[in-house]
């Protein structure tokens, strides 16, 4: 019965996302899907079609007689940066970095947050719930970026892996809270009580009966969290606590272009717009998913 | 249903607006806003100076200490110069001139310097400056407890070692011979003694400065400006006001000078264009080019050599730089002209240690040359041949390259990585904050490779050779010999140059030392830096100073119209509050 319910719910969600009953849900999600899809395609195809190497300064073609970066042209589609490298090539390479970090850190944060939230919710009022939730409270009291920057500074060397691990292991707190509240709702439902009566173990109940029925909100939060992680990575890179140059990251591209905002706005505009559209895309997709999965709109 | 449709339209509108904004931003033409005209001077050329006004300056940096005995940052010297007068000082051309001492005599074959002080020179607290104050200030600055980073420059004064080691409480080499006569006795001849004396560390301080340094002391000297009680708002701004008792009659003309701290380049340029700053020199390249290209601004601008060497410092105790051929490969493999073009408006390529304009710069020196084929040959001789066609070979490990955030070197390092990869050296940039960078560079075995940079302390090659390359500077922590370079021949040449009073012979010693450094390559010398200083038209008699950045004693403001510069943010009332008295403008 439970499995059937999940399948029904998934079908309904797919139906709504793909042009079903609600035009609003459909529009929001479709816009998000288009933007996210574009980002994924750009991250995959961009570095392949880019006409120049993202790491190589071109002192012959990429610089004006005044020693300034050149603007968008046939040779450099989005111009060159302050070190006379191809902005398009760096933007595309940076898209891979952002996407990988955004998704990987979100997966880590979502898994940890879900486990902690389910355990706290299942053992509500007991010592485990108290310990876990107080830990979440303490964690939420610290500014997220401050923790991440401190960890970044403590690490001798920052790579994409250290960044997404850092973001993932510090970004699960909010998810844990939400998952706990959803678990509290689900644990008192009949099918969960029935499973308990049949003598099923707690891990089995959590995995087979609770998790599938709170997966909707988790997916929604996870989608929106990808946007936050992309933004966090950009902020870290902008502040110099992210991946070290010359690896292209959108945040560091913003930093490198800020002194040239007047004379070469494309250096800053390209990563700025990319961050904006990516964050917008994941947020819209998450919002669309939320509406699609909202039982009140069924 | 209506509600749901409304929700759908909002995101679509948002997306459209965002896309429009994105496209507008991405393809907007370069900002071509015209520069405002310089604010002119009210008086013609040759007019008599007017007194009054507060000169507004800004800097991206901050000040840690204004105690001349403990200068630890690059901004403090230009402020300390305004607050503390010395026995001797540098004029705007960099030559030694009398200051508190009206004359001096050199005796005992260059081992005694006797100074005759002006009478009536007053500290900011009203007390007269005497020979006793000079001796007390010198002992205060050179006592080991002061942790004076420049103390070693004065090691030739008799008794220095014991005072530095805190084994003595006084300095027998400084003798008070009268109320206005003080003699410095040196253990050996020192060709740079007057030059280092004209630096800031030994400048007389008020009696409130005590016999030993203290972090809580309020800076007080005999310079043309004084620091009022609430003049330093740490991390924000620092204001000095006119010292009415300054010993040069009629000077200074300004009521005060204010530095706004932590101002990035863009903010400084914007404020300058608005007329809120009077002088600016921290330009981003595009803005600098705009000012340079504008004939209205050109009469009020100068290029000023920073007397600074930029290069790549290699730790000769850490592989692969313990191999001299690898170091030579780096020195030949870097493309100095390409690196210069990263900031062409401020950099000039060089192939030697001593910058132009500093005594000891050798225009005939062959120096280190960029030569790609030679670099490959050095790699081969090092035992790590690299084939640029197959891109195989070279040093097999990644070399960490330590750099600090938001410095020019962060960008130069990225181009350097491209250049060295072509000769088989792969570097990986590691960014840390500036204090960490300084700590790691000065620690033994901590850093193999990173940018090297040194600004002159005094205009002589010894100011570069001794701190960077003399083996006596090597320490486990805090050394400036970032290469941990030890060469008895270099040590000997530096020591001999120290005692050589004949300029020509000393210059030859410097050239010989530079030849050795060219070949031994503990650094790959790369660039010199120069500032572009832009003033408003009403800033009169301002000169860039080779040592202190600004020569402000004779500077005056003569704004034709509108409020006095900075008045909007530094009112007459505010100045009066600082001084605790009325201000005559």
CATH code where residue A55 lies: 1.10.3720.10
Is the Cα dihedral B56, B60, B63, B68 positive or negative?
negative
Instruction: Tell me if chain A has a CB within 8 Å of the CB of B34.
Output: no
Instruction: Tell me if chain B has a CB within 8 Å of the CB of A38.
Output: no
Chain B CB contacts of A251 under 8 Å are none
Task: Specify if A3 maps to a domain.
Answer: no
Nearest CA-CA partner of B509 in B529, B522, B523, B490? B490
Nearest CA-CA partner of B578 in B238, B179, B159? B238
Q: What angle do CA A37, A39, A45 make, to 5 degrees?
A: 100
Q: Which residue of chain A has the CA closest to B283?
A: A259
Chain A CB contacts of B451 under 8 Å are none
Nearest CA-CA partner of B189 in B95, B105, B108? B108
Could you say which residues from 423 to 452 on chain B have a Cβ atom under 8 Å away from some Cβ of chain A?
428-431, 433
Is the Cα dihedral B535, B537, B542, B545 positive or negative?
positive
Q: Which residue has the tokens 């704004």?
A: B559
Nearest CA-CA partner of B252 in B582, B554, B583, B544? B554
* B363 token code pair: 């225009």
Q: Closest Cα of chain A to B411: distance in Å?
A: 7
- In whole angstroms, what is the distance from residue B546 CA to residue B327 CA? 32
Weakest mean pLDDT among A262-276, A277-291, B28-42, B319-333: B28-42
Mean of the per-residue pLDDT values of chain B: 90
What pLDDT is stored for residue A25 in this prediction?
Answer: 60
* B24 token code pair: 């507008």
Residue B412: phi and psi, rounded to 5, are: -65, -35
Residues across chain B? 585
Chain B CB contacts of A244 under 8 Å are 428-431
Buried b (16+ CB within 10 A) or exposed e, B529-552: bbbbbbbbbbbbebbbbbbbbbbb
* B80 token code pair: 């300390």
Cβ of A262 within 8 Å of Cβ of B342? The answer is no
Name the more confident of A260 and B352.
B352
Name the more confident of B285 and A53.
A53
- In whole angstroms, what is the distance from residue B302 CA to residue B298 CA? 8
Weakest mean pLDDT among A22-36, A77-91, A257-271, B322-336: A22-36
Can you name the residues that pair with B128 across neighbouring β-strands? Answer: B122
* Closest by Cβ to B28, choosing from A244, A260, A265: A265
Among A136-145, B328-337, B404-413, name the most confident range: B328-337
What pLDDT is stored for residue A240 in this prediction?
Answer: 82
Instruction: Tell me if chain B has a CB within 8 Å of the CB of A253.
Output: no
As annotated, the residues of chain B forming the CATH 3.90.76.10 domain(s) are 77-209
Convert the pLDDT of each residue in B102-153 to its tens digit.
Answer: 999 999 999 999 999 999 999 999 999 999 999 999 999 999 999 898 998 9
pLDDT class of A53 with cuts at 50, 70, 90:
very high
What pLDDT is stored for residue B18 in this prediction?
Answer: 52
pLDDT class of B185 with cuts at 50, 70, 90:
very high
ipTM: 0.84
Predicted confidence (pLDDT) at residue B558 exceeds the cutoff of 70: yes
Task: Specify if A11 maps to a domain.
Answer: no
Cβ of A57 within 8 Å of Cβ of B429? The answer is no
Weakest mean pLDDT among A31-45, A218-232, B416-430, B560-574: B560-574
Question: For residue B535, what is the enclosing H or E element?
Answer: strand B523-535
Instruction: Tell me if chain B has a CB within 8 Å of the CB of A256.
Output: yes
- Which positions ≥6 away from B68 have C-beta within 8 Å? B80, B84, B141, B200, B201, B202, B203, B205, B221
Predicted confidence (pLDDT) at residue A207 exceeds the cutoff of 70: yes
Task: Specify if A195 maps to a domain.
Answer: yes
What pLDDT is stored for residue B181 in this prediction?
Answer: 98
pLDDT class of A145 with cuts at 50, 70, 90:
confident
Q: Which residue has the tokens 């863009």?
A: B266
Residue percentage of chain B with pLDDT more than 90:
79
Mutation pick from B286, B417, B448 vs chain A, by most beta carbons of A within 10 Å, is: B286
Weakest mean pLDDT among A33-42, A92-101, A142-151: A142-151
Question: If you average pLDDT over residues A179-191, what whole number do you get?
Answer: 93
Instruction: Tell me if chain A has a CB within 8 Å of the CB of B48.
Output: no
Q: Which residue has the tokens 């204090």?
A: B435
Task: Specify if A8 maps to a domain.
Answer: no
- In whole angstroms, what is the distance from residue B451 CA to residue B438 CA? 11
Chain B CB contacts of A291 under 8 Å are 7
Nearest CA-CA partner of B351 in B338, B370, B371? B370
* Closest by Cβ to A266, choosing from B26, B266, B433: B26
As annotated, the residues of chain B forming the CATH 3.40.190.10 domain(s) are 48-59+225-304+533-579
Instruction: Tell me if chain A has a CB within 8 Å of the CB of B289.
Output: yes
* B172 token code pair: 């027998």
What pLDDT is stored for residue A142 in this prediction?
Answer: 83
Predicted confidence (pLDDT) at residue B231 exceeds the cutoff of 60: yes
Predicted confidence (pLDDT) at residue B570 exceeds the cutoff of 80: no
CATH topology of domain B48-59+225-304+533-579: D-Maltodextrin-Binding Protein; domain 2 (3.40.190)
The CATH code of domain B77-209 reads: 3.90.76.10
Is the Cα dihedral B132, B133, B134, B139 positive or negative?
positive
What pLDDT is stored for residue A8 in this prediction?
Answer: 42
Q: State the CB neighbour count (10 A cutoff) for residue A197.
A: 8
pLDDT class of A10 with cuts at 50, 70, 90:
very low
Predicted confidence (pLDDT) at residue B211 exceeds the cutoff of 80: yes
Question: If you average pLDDT over residues A120-147, what whole number do you get?
Answer: 90
Q: Is B549 helix (H, G, I), strand (E, B) or coil?
A: strand
Predicted confidence (pLDDT) at residue B26 exceeds the cutoff of 90: no
Ranges of H-type helices in B459-585: 462-469, 488-499, 503-520, 572-579
- Count of structural domains within chain A: 1
Nearest CA-CA partner of A49 in A78, A84, A10? A78
Nearest CA-CA partner of A264 in B324, B438, B289, B514? B289
Convert the pLDDT of each residue in B335-368 to its tens digit.
Answer: 999 999 999 999 999 999 999 999 999 999 999 9
Cβ of B285 within 8 Å of Cβ of A259? The answer is yes
Predicted confidence (pLDDT) at residue A6 exceeds the cutoff of 50: no
Question: If you average pLDDT over residues A35-46, what whole number do you get?
Answer: 96
Cβ of A261 within 8 Å of Cβ of B266? The answer is yes
Residue A236 sits in which domain range? 20-61+68-297
Contacts A–B by Cβ distance under 8 A: 124
Cβ of B286 within 8 Å of Cβ of A266? The answer is no
The CATH code of domain B308-529 reads: 3.10.105.10
- In whole angstroms, what is the distance from residue A233 CA to residue A143 CA? 15
Task: Specify if A12 maps to a domain.
Answer: no
Q: Is B43 exposed, middle or buried (0-12, 13-18, 19+ CB in 10 A)?
A: middle
Residue B271: phi and psi, rounded to 5, are: -65, -40
Do residues B210 and B140 lie in contact, with contact meaning Cβ atoms separated by under 8 Å? yes
Question: If you average pLDDT over residues B477-496, what whole number do you get?
Answer: 96
Q: Is B190 helix (H, G, I), strand (E, B) or coil?
A: coil
Chain A CB contacts of B405 under 8 Å are 240
Task: Specify if A151 maps to a domain.
Answer: yes
Q: State the CB neighbour count (10 A cutoff) for residue A233.
A: 29
Task: Specify if A15 maps to a domain.
Answer: no
Question: For residue B310, what is the enclosing H or E element?
Answer: strand B301-314
Q: State the CB neighbour count (10 A cutoff) for residue B319.
A: 12
- In whole angstroms, what is the distance from residue B164 CA to residue B148 CA? 9
Nearest CA-CA partner of A286 in A220, A228, A238? A220
- In whole angstroms, what is the distance from residue B526 CA to residue B368 CA? 9
Question: If you average pLDDT over residues A204-231, what whole number do you get?
Answer: 93
């Amino acid at each position: 019965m439970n499995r059937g319910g999940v399948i029904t719910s998934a079908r309904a969600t797919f139906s709504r996302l793909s042009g079903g009953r609600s035009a609003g849900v459909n529009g929001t999600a479709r816009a998000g899907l288009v933007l996210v899809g574009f980002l994924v395609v750009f991250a995959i195809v961009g570095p392949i079609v880019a006409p120049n190497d993202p790491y190589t300064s071109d002192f012959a073609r990429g610089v004006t007689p005044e020693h300034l970066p050149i603007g968008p042209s046939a040779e450099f589609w989005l111009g060159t940066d302050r070190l006379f490298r191809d902005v398009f090539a760096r933007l595309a390479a940076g898209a891979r970095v952002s996407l990988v970090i955004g998704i990987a850190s979100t997966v880590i944060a979502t898994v940890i947050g879900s486990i902690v939230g389910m355990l706290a919710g299942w053992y509500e009022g007991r010592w485990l719930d108290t310990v876990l939730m107080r830990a979440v409270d303490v964690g939420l009291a610290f500014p997220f970026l401050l923790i991440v920057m401190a960890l970044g500074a403590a690490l001798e060397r920052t790579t994409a892996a250290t960044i997404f691990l850092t973001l993932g292991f510090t970004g699960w707190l909010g998810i844990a809270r939400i998952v706990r509240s959803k678990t509290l709702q689900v644990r008192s439902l009949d099918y969960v009580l029935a499973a308990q009566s049949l003598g099923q173990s707690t891990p089995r109940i959590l995995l087979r009966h609770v998790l599938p029925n709170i997966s909707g909100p988790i997916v929604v939060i996870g989608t929106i969290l990808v946007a936050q992680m992309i933004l966090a990575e950009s902020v870290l890179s902008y502040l110099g606590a992210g991946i070290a140059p010359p690896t292209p990251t959108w945040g560091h591209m913003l930093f490198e272009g800020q002194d040239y905002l007047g004379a070469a706005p494309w250096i800053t505009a390209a990563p700025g717009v990319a961050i904006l559209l990516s964050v917008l895309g994941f947020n819209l997709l998450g919002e669309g998913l939320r509406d699609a999965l909202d039982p009140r709109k069924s | 249903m209506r509600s749901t449709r409304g929700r759908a339209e909002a995101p679509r509108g948002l997306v459209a607006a965002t896309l429009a904004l994105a496209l507008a931003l991405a393809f907007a033409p370069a900002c071509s806003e015209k520069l405002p005209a310089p604010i002119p001077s009210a008086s013609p050329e040759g007019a008599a100076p007017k007194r009054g006004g507060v000169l507004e300056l800004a800097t991206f940096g901050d000040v840690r200490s204004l105690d001349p005995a403990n200068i630890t940052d690059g901004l403090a010297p230009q402020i300390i110069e305004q607050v503390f007068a010395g026995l001797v000082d540098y004029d705007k051309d960099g030559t030694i001139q009398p200051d508190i001492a009206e004359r001096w005599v050199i005796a005992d074959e260059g081992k005694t310097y006797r100074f005759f002080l002006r009478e009536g020179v007053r500290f900011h607290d009203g007390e007269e400056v005497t020979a006793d104050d000079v001796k007390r200030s010198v002992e205060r600055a050179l006592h080991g407890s002061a942790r004076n980073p420049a103390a070693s420059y004065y090691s030739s004064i008799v008794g220095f070692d014991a005072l530095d080691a805190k084994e003595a409480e006084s300095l027998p080499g400084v003798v008070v011979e009268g109320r206005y006569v003080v003699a410095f006795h040196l253990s050996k001849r020192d060709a740079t003694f007057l030059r280092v004396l004209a630096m800031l560390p030994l400048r007389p301080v008020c009696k409130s400065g005590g016999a030993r340094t203290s972090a809580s002391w309020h800076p007080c000297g005999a310079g043309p400006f004084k620091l009022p009680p609430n003049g330093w708002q740490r991390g924000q701004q620092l204001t000095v006001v006119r010292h009415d008792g300054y010993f040069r009659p009629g000077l200074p003309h300004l009521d005060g000078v204010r530095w706004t701290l932590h101002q990035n380049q863009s903010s400084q340029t914007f404020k300058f264009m608005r007329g809120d700053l009077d002088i600016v020199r921290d330009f981003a390249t595009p803005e600098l080019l705009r000012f340079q290209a504008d004939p209205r601004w050109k009469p009020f601008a100068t290029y000023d050599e920073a007397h600074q060497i930029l290069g790549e410092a290699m730790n000769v105790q850490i592989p692969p730089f313990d191999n001299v051929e690898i170091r030579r490969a780096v020195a030949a493999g870097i493309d100095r002209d390409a690196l210069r073009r990263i900031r062409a408006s401020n950099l000039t390529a060089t192939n030697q240690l001593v910058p132009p304009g500093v005594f000891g710069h050798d225009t005939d020196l062959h120096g280190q040359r960029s030569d790609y084929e030679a670099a490959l040959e050095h790699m081969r001789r090092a035992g790590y041949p690299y084939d640029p066609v197959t891109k195989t070979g070279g040093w097999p490990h990644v070399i960490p390259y330590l750099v600090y955030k938001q410095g020019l070197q962060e960008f130069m390092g990225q181009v350097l990585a491209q250049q060295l990869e072509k000769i088989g050296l792969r570097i990986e940039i590691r960014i840390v904050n500036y204090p960490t960078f300084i700590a790691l560079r000065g620690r033994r075995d901590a850093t193999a490779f990173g940018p090297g940079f040194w600004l002159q302390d005094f205009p002589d090659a010894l100011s570069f050779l001794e701190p960077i390359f003399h083996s006596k500077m090597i320490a486990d922590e805090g050394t400036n010999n970032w290469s941990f370079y030890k060469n008895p021949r270099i040590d000997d040449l530096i020591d001999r140059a120290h005692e050589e009073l004949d300029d020509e012979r000393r210059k030859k010693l410097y050239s010989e030392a530079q030849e050795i450094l060219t070949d031994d390559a503990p650094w790959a010398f790369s660039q010199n830096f120069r500032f572009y200083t832009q003033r408003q038209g009403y800033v009169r008699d301002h000169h860039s100073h080779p040592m202190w950045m600004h020569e402000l004693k004779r500077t005056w403001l003569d704004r034709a119209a509108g409020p006095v510069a900075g008045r909007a943010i530094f009112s007459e009332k505010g100045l009066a509050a600082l001084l605790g008295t009325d201000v005559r403008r």
